[in-house]
Amino acid sequence: MNAFTGDLTMTEMALEWREWRLEQPLTFGPYTVPAGFVTDGASVPRPLWWFLPAWGRYSRAAVVHDYLCRNKIVSRAEADRVFFDAMVVCGVNVTVRWLIWGSVRLYAILARK
């Protein structure tokens, strides 16, 4: 099982409240998100924030997923698998984990990514 090394240390971007900059590298298994990477956390539609906010127990997993998808480090399906595995390591509730993972897979299929 993969593990995270390093803390999730972020700074809010001054011009865009939804964007945050990673202040130190974040590693999950073989993947390292470099310091300076900018993310919006979990890409949850705003009307659902009451249930799944952009930041939560799954935040480290979301940062890794954003990095893998945005930079096309691996296929979208592999990035989603890594995201699921990372949420397991983060201790995300099984129901929430499957709901989030199912949503990102559905989006990938509908968007043909």
The more confidently predicted of residues 65 and 108 is: 65
Mean pLDDT value across residues 79-95: 95
Write down the pLDDT at residue 40: 85
Does the structure show a pLDDT above 90 at 12? no
Kindly list the distances between the CA atom of residue 30 and the CA atoms of 3, 10, 33, 90, 92, in Å, as whole numbers in the listed order: 10, 21, 10, 17, 21
Number of domains in the chain: 1
Task: Report the share of the chain in percent with pLDDT over 70.
Answer: 85
At residue 31 the predicted structure's pLDDT band, cuts being 50, 70 and 90, is very high
The more confidently predicted of residues 15 and 39 is: 39
What residues make up the domain containing 63? 4-40+48-110
Write down the pTM of the prediction: 0.86
